[in-house]
């Protein structure tokens, strides 16, 4: 016996169909939203990885070596001559004409300025570009300052001359640019280190103003050098030795327990003590490197090996 469907039955059937259609639509909408989110996340990750790859390859060892030979080494030649001639003036002031010395140094600064001015670094390597620009500024100021200082030396010699040099704002500024360039170069070495050693430990620590002895111990050799170069820059330590010469003296002092005996608990005071007591020499790193840094990851730069 057939039973005629009532209005309520029709409404119930339509409601069920509506619910089924709505649920199906919600399902497909959810799938689309999930797919879009996954795609966006994947594309964002890929973009970040691409940018990271660009940043890391920007400091390829080839660029570091090229910078070393074409820019860093010419500047270093001038810097070595600067310290040699100033020391000669200090030791033999009575027998050497200071004006001739500054004429020689100004001429050498000009020659090195011309030599490195035509060089260039990739736009993808901003730290190397900054280092180049600051070495140029340093040489230019040394040249201009030498000419200017020569005209006002008068009869100054020996300690009086050295005191005048230390107070001269132009020479001080020339040294600041040199120290800033040095920090940029050592920072670029750390960028290279990141490209060959993922998840480099202690990157953030190396940017701090001071480090505890325990924090210093977490840094590898390249990060230690970067930290030392930054302290040299902020303290205006324009010296004839490399940051790695100072780094190894710090590690040597810690190994011997001198910091404990002097109750020094952080690294910056150790740096200040070593520099201000003239306890660091050019070549300290090369003499002792096998004892401290035999297994370090280093770029093939001559000042780490020769």
d(CA 185, CA 119): 15
d(CA 32, CA 34): 5
d(CA 74, CA 240): 14
Predicted TM-score of the model (pTM): 0.80
d(CA 136, CA 181): 9
Q: Which residues contact 248 (CB under 8 A, 6 or more apart)?
A: 284, 285, 288, 289, 292, 293
> Which is nearest to 187 in space by CA: 241, 229, 237, 250?
229
Quick one: tokens of 88?
Answer: 């000669």
> Which is nearest to 191 in space by CA: 116, 131, 251?
131
d(CA 306, CA 292): 16
* Per-residue pLDDT tens listing for the chain (306 residues): 455 667 776 677 777 777 777 777 766 666 666 666 655 654 554 444 444 444 547 899 999 999 999 999 999 999 999 999 988 887 776 677 888 899 999 999 999 999 999 999 999 999 999 999 999 999 999 999 998 888 877 666 667 777 888 888 999 999 999 999 999 999 999 999 999 988 899 989 998 999 999 999 999 999 999 999 999 999 999 999 999 999 999 999 999 999 999 999 999 999 999 999 999 999 999 999 999 998 899 999 999 998
The DSSP result for 234-273, as a single string, is HTT---SS-HHHHHHHHHHHHHTTHHHHTT--BHHHHHHH
Q: SS3 of 212, please?
A: strand
> Would you list the domain boundaries of the chain?
61-196, 199-306
């Amino acid at each position: 016996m057939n039973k005629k469907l009532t209005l309520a039955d029709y409404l119930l059937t339509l409601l069920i169909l509506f619910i089924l259609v709505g649920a199906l639509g919600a399902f497909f909408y959810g799938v689309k939203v999930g797919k879009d989110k996954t795609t966006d996340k994947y594309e964002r990750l890929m973009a970040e990885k691409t940018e990271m790859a660009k940043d890391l390859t920007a400091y390829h060892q080839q660029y570091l070596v090229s910078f070393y030979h074409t820019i860093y080494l010419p500047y270093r030649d001038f810097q070595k001559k600067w310290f040699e001639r100033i020391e000669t003036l200090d030791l033999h002031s009575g027998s050497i004409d200071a004006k001739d010395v500054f004429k020689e140094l100004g001429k050498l600064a000009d020659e090195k300025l011309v030599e490195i001015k035509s060089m260039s670094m990739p736009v993808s390597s901003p730290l190397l570009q900054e280092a180049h620009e600051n070495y140029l500024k340093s040489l230019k100021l040394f040249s201009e300052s030498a000419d200017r200082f020569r005209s006002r030396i008068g009869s100054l010699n020996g300690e009086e001359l050295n005191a005048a040099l230390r107070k001269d704002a132009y020479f001080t500024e020339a040294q600041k640019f040199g120290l800033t360039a040095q920090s940029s170069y050592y920072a670029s070495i750390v960028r290279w280190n990141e490209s060959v050693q993922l998840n480099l430990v202690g990157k953030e620590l190396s940017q701090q103003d001071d480090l505890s002895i325990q924090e210093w111990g977490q840094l590898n050799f390249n990060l230690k050098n970067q930290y030392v170069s930054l302290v040299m820059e902020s303290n205006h330590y324009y010296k004839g030795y490399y940051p790695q010469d100072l780094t190894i003296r710090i590690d040597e002092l810690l190994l011997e327990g001198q910091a404990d005996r002097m109750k020094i608990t952080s690294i910056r005071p150790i740096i200040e003590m070593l520099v201000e007591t003239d306890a660091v020499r050019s070549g300290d790193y090369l003499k002792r490197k096998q004892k401290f840094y035999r297994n370090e990851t280093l770029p093939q730069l001559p000042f780490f090996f020769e």
